[in-house]
Structure formats: structure tokens, C-alpha cells
Amino acid sequence: MVKLKFKHESMELLYRDKDYQDRRLPNELRRAYIKKCFILETLENIQDLKNYRGLNFEHYKDHYSIRVNNQRRIEFDYDSYKNITIIEVLDITNHYKKNFNR
């Protein structure tokens, strides 16, 4: 099973603390983010993401991403120790645009 880490404390609080509020994310986006983080946390390895077609798993040169909804993606790193580090939530239209956190 992979270990889920977060680059920014606010990203972890959104996932782990149901009372944490962040005005930048609407409730429906937060629910989708929590669901996707849960999926990431329950993987045996990164290759298992290929079984979830709706996530639109993509690998770039130095990171990975999955779809949160039709407009946003979660960008993350994965290392050889099965650690996934959530980097940010970003716009789907421009994967390289700094959006939520960086």
C-alpha cells in the first residue's frame, strides 16, 4: 500500500480534517478531491491507477496526475518507496499553470 504525503499542509487538512474550510475549493470539488486521495491511499502501487479509467491517469517527465473532475487534476510525485506526495490541484486546461498551491 502506498503512503500519502502532502507538500502543503492545507492540502492534507482538506483530506484529513472534515472541519477544515478553504474558500478556494467549492464543497463538490472538495468531496471529489477526498475521494481521489482515498483511491491514491489505497493503491498497492502506482500501476494500479491504470485500472481506474475515469481518473485519466497521466505520467509526465517529473510527475503524475489524475482527474478530480472535468476541470481540475491532482498533480503528485511517486517514489520507489511507494510514497505519493500530493503537490497541488490544478486547472485541467493548463497542467503547467500554478493554480492552487505550489
Q: What is the per-residue pLDDT across 13-63, written as a single tens digit (0 to 9) for each?
A: 999 999 998 887 788 999 999 999 999 999 999 999 999 999 999 998 889
Query: What would you report as the CA-atom Rg of the chain, rounded to the nearest whole angstrom?
Result: 13
pLDDT at 102 over 50: no
Beta bridge partner(s), residue 65: 58, 75
The closest of 60, 65, 56, 58 to 84, measured between CA atoms, is 65
What does pLDDT average to over the chain? 88
Separation CA 93–CA 86 (nearest Å): 19
13 vs 97 pLDDT, higher one: 13
**Can you give the pTM of this predicted structure?**
0.85
pLDDT score recorded for residue 19:
93
